Structure 1
Amino acid sequence: MTVAQPDVTVVIGAYEAMPYLVECLASVEAQTLDPARIEVIAVDDGSRDGTGDCLEEFAARAPMDVTVIRQANSGGPSGPRNVGLSKATGRYVFFLDADDRLGAEALERMVAMADKNGTDVVLGRVEGVNRTPPRSMWGETLDRTDVYSSNIKFTLSAQKLFRREFLERHGMRFDESLWTGEDALFTMEAYLRADGVSVVADYTCYYLVGRSDGKHVTKSGSYTLRFDSARALMGLLERLVPPGPKRDVLMVRPFLVTVLPQFGPVFLRNDEEIRRTKLELAKPLMDAYWNEGVAQRLLVHERLRLELVARGRADLLVDVLEFIQAKSKPAPVLKKRGTQLYLAYPHYGSPEAGVPDRIYLAEPREAKAYPGWRKNPTETFLRGFVRKVRRKASRVRRTARPGGGAAAA
């Protein structure tokens, strides 16, 4: 008798996951999707706390097909995920961390969303349990979107539903040379190659659990690993996205999420050797990828700090960080009849520092919070005109399609 292909393979990479694994597995068992349509591949990555035995017990009682693989510790989540992916037979694959858990309807809703829209990746709403989850991408459920026109670039964890045929077609696997950020590389590549991405925002599909013991499947490692992660992600964007506004939009993510935190309050606590090493590691990234298109998409204090990193000016950066840490507020400086607002963080207007005034210029989203600032009427008119032209062109394209209205008639 031919066994029907499961709808989804849940890949669980587990390392020292007790007791969190118990609730994780219970959430899989509680899925509203028919158990016959679920396959579980669980990989114990060399645990010594009973994780492997717990997985074996689950496999013996679970109503769905469960395969348990026990292997020597690989040092990170990439190895177990790749092993699980290589054994998967489902139409879709979902990567579930052993200390997290699923909402009861998660798999049913995500599979239905992918089937309905023919999309290759589905994101399910995430909530945190003793942990801060990503938030900006859950404003509304989206049948079909992409990485440029939504905020999905700010959630690059692996806990998504992926069409398995799509992953196999592109030969996609997690980079086992990275000790952190491997999921960001994998997920960003999937976003860029996907024929559409869906977002389930009206139901909590995933609970991101903060562990009190600090034992996550990913080892945190040193700050140097963060630069490895940023370098890999920036290199991927360089390979897959031509230079221009689209690449700049995506480059914001590694600069903001991975590079900038290394030059935040922690930099003040670093000794001189670590400060020097951080600037040396950042230099090739700044030389290759830092540009005006990325800079203008950041807040002034973010842009200023990265500009000082690009210039190798640790002395000026320390002044800015101390100013921010003291919760000082930069004085607003209005120019050009109130249409330009500069925020006078340390060294603004200083010939000795040599930082261009444009670095301190607030973009409209930041400037609008300050009394006295007003939009440039010429710029506002031009933007409105461009929007009207684009809407008109879009209507023309729609009516020109077969069955699209008057043009088709």
Structure 2
Amino acid sequence: MTVAQPDVTVIIGAYEAMPYLAECLASVEAQTIGPERVEVVAVDDGSTDGTGRCLEEFADRAPMPVTVIRQQNSGGPSGPRNVGLARASGRYVFFLDADDRLGPEALERMVDMADRAGTDVVLGRIEGVNRGAPKSMWGRTLERTDVYSSNIKYTLSAQKLFRRALLERHGMRFDESLWTGEDALFTMEAYLRADGVSVVADYTCYYLVGRTDGKHVTKSGGYTLRFDSARALMDLIAALVPAGPRRDLLMLRPFTITLLPQFGPVFLRDTDEVRARKLELAQPLMERHWTEGVARLLKVEERLRLHLVAERRPELLLGVLRLRTKERPPAVLKRRGRHVYLAYPYYGDREAGIPDSVYLASPREARAVPGYREDGTPAVLRRAVRRVRRLLRASRGVKPGGKAAAA
């Protein structure tokens, strides 16, 4: 008898996942999509705490097909996910971390959305449990969007529904050479290659659980891993998106989320040797990917720090950071016509020689300036003009919003 293809394969990579794994598996068992439409592929990545035994017990009782694979520890989540992906047969795959859990209707809602909209990736609303979770992309449900016209670039974790045909067509797998950021690389590539992305924002599909035991799937590592992650994501974007505004928009993510924190308050605590090494690691990234287009999209304080990184001026960067950590007033505002400049440290300092353009406020920052209008007309002048118009209308017998009285 021919077995019907499952709608979705849930891939679970598990390492030292007890006791969280029990609740994770219970959330899979409770799915409303129907067990005949689901298969589970679970990979125990060399656990010693009973994780493998828990998975096998689940396979014995679960109403859906469950494949358990036990292997030596690979050092991170990429290996188990790739092993699971190679065994998947569903039309879609969903990567579920062993310490997280699904909302009961998650798979049903996401599969229905993908089928209805014909999209290749579906994001289900994420909620944090004892930890933070991304928020900016859940404003409303979207049947079809893309990475340019929404905030989905700020959630690049692997906990999404992916059409398996998309992954197979492009030979997509997780990069096992990366110790951090491997999911960002995979998910960004899927966004860019997808025929549309959907967002389920009106139902919590995924609960991102913060562990209290200090154990995580990914082993900890030094700051150099962050630079590896930023490089991989920047190079991917550059390879798949032509130079221009769209590429600049996507580059915001690795610049602000991955690279910029390395040159924040932690930089003050770094040794001189580490500071020099960070600037050395950042240099090729800045040379290849730092453009005026990216700079214009940043807030002034972010742009200033990255400008100093690009120019390799650690002494000025430290000065900016010292003032930043003392929580002094953000800036003295300077206006030049319709432009607003924020006088952060070294603004107008000839010896520092930082171009004034670095301090040019973004439209959002400028709109926060009292009396600012994008046409540059001062508020006091606007009020005077309105008063003169009211007086002229009154002298002609015109009521507000009406026409002149008949002679």
Same fold (TM over 0.5): yes
Checking the alignment, whether the CA contact within 8 Å between 2:308 and 2:316 is kept in structure 1 is: yes
User: For residue 357 of structure 2, what is the aligned residue in structure 1?
Assistant: 358
Deviations 1:215-269 (A, max 9, x none): 1111231110000000001110111011000100000000000000101111111
Runs of at least 5 residues in structure 2 that lack an aligned partner in the other structure? 378-407
Runs of at least 5 residues in structure 1 that lack an aligned partner in the other structure? 379-409
User: For residue 264 of structure 2, what is the aligned residue in structure 1?
Assistant: 264
Q: CA deviation at 1:331?
A: 2.8
Q: In structure 2, what residue type is equivalent to 1:208?
A: L
User: For residue 312 of structure 1, what is the aligned residue in structure 2?
Assistant: 312
Q: CA deviation at 1:166?
A: 1.1
Q: CA deviation at 1:312?
A: 0.6
Checking the alignment, whether the CA contact within 8 Å between 2:332 and 2:344 is kept in structure 1 is: no
Q: C-alpha root-mean-square deviation of aligned residues, in Å?
A: 1.0
User: For residue 247 of structure 2, what is the aligned residue in structure 1?
Assistant: 247
Q: CA deviation at 1:332?
A: 3.0
Q: How is 1:213-292 mapped onto 2 (pairs within 5 angstroms)?
A: 213-292=213-292
Q: In structure 2, what residue type is equivalent to 1:341?
A: V
User: For residue 127 of structure 1, what is the aligned residue in structure 2?
Assistant: 127
Q: Secondary structure at the match of 2:10?
A: strand
User: For residue 31 of structure 2, what is the aligned residue in structure 1?
Assistant: 31
Q: Structure 1 stretch 348-357 or stretch 326-335: which is displaced more?
A: 326-335
Q: How is 1:167-182 mapped onto 2 (pairs within 5 angstroms)?
A: 167-182=167-182
Checking the alignment, whether the CA contact within 8 Å between 2:268 and 2:318 is kept in structure 1 is: yes
Q: In structure 1, what residue type is equivalent to 2:90?
A: G
Q: Secondary structure at the match of 1:333?
A: strand
User: For residue 137 of structure 2, what is the aligned residue in structure 1?
Assistant: 137
Deviations 1:260-310 (A, max 9, x none): 010111111111111110000000000111011001111111111111110
Inter-partner Cα distance in structure 2 for 1:276 and 1:197? 41
Deviations 1:119-175 (A, max 9, x none): 000000000011110111000100000000000000000000000011101110000
The structure-2 alpha-carbon separation of the partners of 1:237 and 1:139, relative to structure 1 and needing over 3 Å to count, comes to same
Q: In structure 1, what residue type is equivalent to 2:41?
A: I
The yes-or-no answer on 1:374 pairing with 2:353 is no
Inter-partner Cα distance in structure 1 for 2:275 and 2:315? 10
The yes-or-no answer on 1:11 pairing with 2:11 is yes
User: For residue 387 of structure 2, what is the aligned residue in structure 1?
Assistant: none
Q: CA deviation at 1:112?
A: 0.1
Q: Secondary structure at the match of 1:3?
A: coil
Inter-partner Cα distance in structure 2 for 1:46 and 1:92? 27
Inter-partner Cα distance in structure 2 for 1:302 and 1:237? 21
Inter-partner Cα distance in structure 2 for 1:268 and 1:22? 42
User: For residue 299 of structure 1, what is the aligned residue in structure 2?
Assistant: 299
Inter-partner Cα distance in structure 2 for 1:237 and 1:331? 34
Checking the alignment, whether the CA contact within 8 Å between 2:137 and 2:151 is kept in structure 1 is: yes
Inter-partner Cα distance in structure 2 for 1:202 and 1:220? 34
The yes-or-no answer on 1:195 pairing with 2:195 is yes
User: For residue 153 of structure 1, what is the aligned residue in structure 2?
Assistant: 153
Inter-partner Cα distance in structure 1 for 2:356 and 2:215? 46
Inter-partner Cα distance in structure 1 for 2:54 and 2:229? 33
Q: Secondary structure at the match of 1:144?
A: strand
Inter-partner Cα distance in structure 2 for 1:335 and 1:232? 40
Q: CA deviation at 1:334?
A: 2.8
Checking the alignment, whether the CA contact within 8 Å between 1:124 and 1:203 is kept in structure 2 is: yes
Checking the alignment, whether the CA contact within 8 Å between 1:334 and 1:373 is kept in structure 2 is: no
Q: In structure 2, what residue type is equivalent to 1:202?
A: D
Inter-partner Cα distance in structure 2 for 1:130 and 1:41? 27
Q: Secondary structure at the match of 2:260?
A: helix
Q: Secondary structure at the match of 2:113?
A: helix
Inter-partner Cα distance in structure 1 for 2:332 and 2:205? 43
Superposed structure 1 runs of 4+ greater than 3 Å apart? none
User: For residue 74 of structure 2, what is the aligned residue in structure 1?
Assistant: 74
Checking the alignment, whether the CA contact within 8 Å between 2:334 and 2:343 is kept in structure 1 is: no
Q: Secondary structure at the match of 2:165?
A: helix
Q: In structure 2, what residue type is equivalent to 1:240?
A: L
Q: CA deviation at 1:336?
A: 2.6
Checking the alignment, whether the CA contact within 8 Å between 2:9 and 2:94 is kept in structure 1 is: yes
Q: CA deviation at 1:214?
A: 2.0
Inter-partner Cα distance in structure 2 for 1:86 and 1:216? 24
User: For residue 342 of structure 2, what is the aligned residue in structure 1?
Assistant: 343
Q: Secondary structure at the match of 1:109?
A: helix
Inter-partner Cα distance in structure 1 for 2:249 and 2:39? 37
Q: Secondary structure at the match of 1:124?
A: strand
The yes-or-no answer on 1:94 pairing with 2:90 is no
Q: Secondary structure at the match of 2:110?
A: helix
Checking the alignment, whether the CA contact within 8 Å between 1:332 and 1:341 is kept in structure 2 is: no
Q: Secondary structure at the match of 2:56?
A: helix
Checking the alignment, whether the CA contact within 8 Å between 1:59 and 1:67 is kept in structure 2 is: yes
Q: CA deviation at 1:366?
A: 1.1
Q: CA deviation at 1:377?
A: 5.8
Q: In structure 1, what residue type is equivalent to 2:212?
A: S
Q: CA deviation at 1:371?
A: 1.1
Query: How many corresponding residue pairs?
Result: 377
Inter-partner Cα distance in structure 2 for 1:319 and 1:336? 26
The structure-2 alpha-carbon separation of the partners of 1:377 and 1:343, relative to structure 1 and needing over 3 Å to count, comes to closer
User: For residue 63 of structure 1, what is the aligned residue in structure 2?
Assistant: 63
Q: CA deviation at 1:376?
A: 2.5
Inter-partner Cα distance in structure 2 for 1:355 and 1:210? 42
